[in-house]
Amino acid sequence: MNRVTVFRPALMLSIVAILWQSVPLPTIAQRKKTRKDIPAPQTTRKHNPNLPNVVILATGGTIAGAGTSSVGTAYTAGQLPIESLLQAVPEATKVANITGEQVAQVGSQAMNDEVWLKLAKRINELAKKSDVDGFVITHGTDTQEETALFLNLTVKTDKPVVMVGAMRSATAISADGPKNLYDAIVTAASPSSKGRGVVVCMNDNLFSARDVVKVNTTNVDAFHAPNSGPIGFVLDGKVAWYSLSLRKHTTQTEFDISNVDKLPKVDILYGYSNVDPNLVDALVNDGTKGIVIAGVGNGNLYPAVEERVKAAVKKGVVVVRSSRVMSGRTTMDAETDDKVLGTIASDEFNPQKARVLLQLALLKTTDQDTIQQMFLRY
């Protein structure tokens, strides 16, 4: 093989990437328009009026990652644009008309409130359009469960919103991204996916955003719902649903982020033997509005930490007890008495998910009982 043959595919990919990224994305001012004027996502494909219309909102991650070796685990997340990802799944064009927007291009370790808000607002805007039937969000897997829960609590639509990622980069041998992306598009295009809240599609499985957790650092079977299992599957290009979460989501929640530009500061404190209680004070002095304790067992606190937490609550900081244990619930008034301590039990939310809900709760109230009810309702 000569040099030209080797480099031509890479050159073509770069040209497609440059062309795609040079298409100007609409500004926020342009988006403040009537429903009819909402800017449509970009497409380069021919429209088939008999197929549903799926919008891909891309944020980066390993699914868009590229490495120098196809067999190693080293790569850089968030390199390839949507158009390159779709080239690996030509079958998807038989399932839906696909348009796309690059909302961010980051590894999800860099995900932040700003992108969450941008994503949720863009979904809420596009969901009003009658020619949009469903959404796929491509995302890094590291913090996928947090973004999924944020969207599950803030998007105001019954239309399918399906999050997808990959554990192997797009340039790896046996990359899982193309199959996951195809399954996600199939799910977003299916009318049976309506009203199920935000769903995460990984490795043939469909999980409720509320329940899904990343459980492995490198394996393709990295997502589980430890307390409830998957709610469906995608096999042979068809979606099969098996259960439905009864907890409130999307259109049923009280969270309206349409005028929110910033979320309250909430931090997580890990529990372990001999933990230094000064960590609680450090967070309080840094102006945190809420603390989630990744407690031991059923959300239990080291005695010296308990004392500092009591003092922090008296100063107006809202404290949620969660657990560093992978499965089970953190229950109210068990070994730790929340009434005495002034704390809130996280129910099934792990610390990183409890943080998301507490940030949203603090937009509305600091009342302990009201926030406790939210943790039991969502």
Report whether 155 contacts 50 (CB < 8 A): no
Report whether 170 contacts 75 (CB < 8 A): no
Angle at CA of residue 218, ends 217 and 220, nearest 5°: 115
Which residue has the CB atom at the shortest distance from ligand SIN?
Answer: 140
Taking the complex as a whole, how short is the minimal distance between the CB of residue 73 and ligand SIN, in angstroms?
10
- Total site size for ligand SIN, rule CB under 6 A: 11
Cβ count near 138 (within 10 Å): 29
| 364 CB-side CA count, 13 A | 16
The reply on whether position 351 binds ligand SIN by CB under 6 A is: no
Task: Calculate Rg over the CA atoms of the chain.
Answer: 22
Stretch that binds ligand SIN, among 107-115, 177-185, 341-349, 363-371 (CB under 6 A): 107-115
Taking the complex as a whole, how short is the minimal distance between the CB of residue 213 and ligand SIN, in angstroms?
14
Stretch that binds ligand SIN, among 11-19, 44-52, 122-130, 140-148 (CB under 6 A): 140-148
Q: Find the binder of ligand SIN among 83, 101, 142, 176 (CB under 6 A).
A: 142
123/132 Cα distance (integer angstroms): 10
Q: Which is nearer to ligand SIN, 110 or 334 (CB)?
A: 110
Q: Find the binder of ligand SIN among 81, 107, 178, 271 (CB under 6 A).
A: 107
115/104 Cα distance (integer angstroms): 7
Q: Find the binder of ligand SIN among 81, 165, 232, 299 (CB under 6 A).
A: 165
Beta bridge partners of 75: none
Taking the complex as a whole, how short is the minimal distance between the CB of residue 122 and ligand SIN, in angstroms?
19
Cβ count near 128 (within 10 Å): 14
Stretch that binds ligand SIN, among 36-44, 134-142, 246-254, 273-281 (CB under 6 A): 134-142
325/295 Cα distance (integer angstroms): 8
Q: Which amino acid is at 178?
A: P
187/201 Cα distance (integer angstroms): 8
**Distance between the two ends of the chain, CA-based, in angstroms?**
58
Taking the complex as a whole, how short is the minimal distance between the CB of residue 218 and ligand SIN, in angstroms?
9
Among 62, 143, 154, 330, which one carries the catalytic annotation? 62
Q: Find the binder of ligand SIN among 97, 141, 245, 372 (CB under 6 A).
A: 141
Q: Check if 141 is active-site.
A: no
Report whether 177 contacts 136 (CB < 8 A): no
The reply on whether position 61 binds ligand SIN by CB under 6 A is: yes
The reply on whether position 167 binds ligand SIN by CB under 6 A is: yes
Taking the complex as a whole, how short is the minimal distance between the CB of residue 61 and ligand SIN, in angstroms?
4
* Per-residue interface string for the shown chain with ligand SIN, residues 169-198, x marking contact by CB under 6 A: ------------------------------
- Note the residue count of the chain: 378
Report whether 201 contacts 180 (CB < 8 A): yes
Q: Find the binder of ligand SIN among 53, 99, 108, 372 (CB under 6 A).
A: 108
330/322 Cα distance (integer angstroms): 6
Taking the complex as a whole, how short is the minimal distance between the CB of residue 175 and ligand SIN, in angstroms?
11
Q: Which is nearer to ligand SIN, 77 or 201 (CB)?
A: 77
Q: Which is nearer to ligand SIN, 70 or 370 (CB)?
A: 70
Cβ count near 35 (within 10 Å): 9
The reply on whether position 64 binds ligand SIN by CB under 6 A is: no
Closest CA to 181 of 170, 195, 171, 194: 170
Give contact residues for ligand SIN (rule: CB under 6 A).
61-62, 77, 107-109, 140-142, 165, 167
Active site residue ranges? 62
